[in-house]
């Protein structure tokens, strides 16, 4: 399951950098859940050609991530914002001042928007 999640993130971040053919084969397999044989029949190519195209596309996506690190940075930022949200939760519980609670609630709302 981890591999599928990673491939989904890679495609979400870098999919637009692929050729139309690469996107088509990737989407048919991973999003439409078609088998390699079904894709081959649909595109009039061999099952092996479909497999090769998928593997090449996966390597391309992984190469983009190795160079650009967008997913790594996104996940790190998400973790930091989650930690910030927990700190805000603790501060809200400890502080009775209405103005501070209002400000903390606003910050918490921003953090939740970032996380969603």
Residues 9 and 56 in one domain: yes
Residues 84 and 64 in one domain: no
Range of the domain at 50: 2-68
Residue 20 sits in a domain whose CATH number is: 1.10.10.10
Residues 10 and 44 in one domain: yes
Residues 58 and 23 in one domain: yes
- When the pLDDT of each residue in the chain is averaged and rounded to a whole number, the result is 92
State the pLDDT at residue 102: 86
What is d(CA 70, CA 68) in angstroms, rounded to the nearest whole number?
6
What is d(CA 2, CA 108) in angstroms, rounded to the nearest whole number?
29
Mean pLDDT of 103-116: 88
Residues 24 and 61 in one domain: yes
Percentage of the chain beyond pLDDT 70 is 99
Confidence tier at 90 by pLDDT (50, 70, 90)? confident
Residues 56 and 7 in one domain: yes
* pLDDT at residue 1 tops 80: no
pLDDT tens per residue, range 52-69: 999 999 999 999 999 999
pLDDT tens per residue, range 8-46: 999 999 999 999 999 999 999 999 999 999 999 999 999
Hey, what are 19's tokens? 């050729």
**Residue linked to tokens 């921003």:** 110
Q: How many domains does the chain have?
A: 2
State the pLDDT at residue 101: 83
Residues 13 and 62 in one domain: yes
Q: What is the DSSP string of 11-24?
A: HHHHGGGS-HHHHH
Residues 61 and 34 in one domain: yes
Residues 26 and 57 in one domain: yes
What is d(CA 105, CA 111) in angstroms, rounded to the nearest whole number?
10
Q: With a threshold of 0.85, does the pTM exceed it?
A: no
Residues 22 and 54 in one domain: yes
Residues 14 and 49 in one domain: yes
């Amino acid at each position: 399951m981890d591999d599928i999640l990673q491939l989904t993130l890679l495609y979400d971040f870098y999919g637009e950098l692929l050729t139309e053919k690469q996107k088509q084969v990737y989407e048919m397999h991973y999003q439409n859940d078609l088998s390699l044989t079904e894709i081959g029949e649909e595109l009039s190519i061999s099952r092996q050609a479909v497999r090769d195209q998928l593997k090449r596309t996966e390597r391309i996506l992984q190469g983009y991530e190795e160079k650009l690190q967008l997913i790594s940075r996104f996940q790190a930022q998400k973790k930091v914002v989650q930690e910030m949200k927990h700190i805000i939760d603790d501060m809200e519980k400890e502080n009775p001042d209405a103005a501070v609670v209002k400000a903390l609630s606003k910050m918490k709302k921003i953090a939740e928007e970032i996380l969603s």
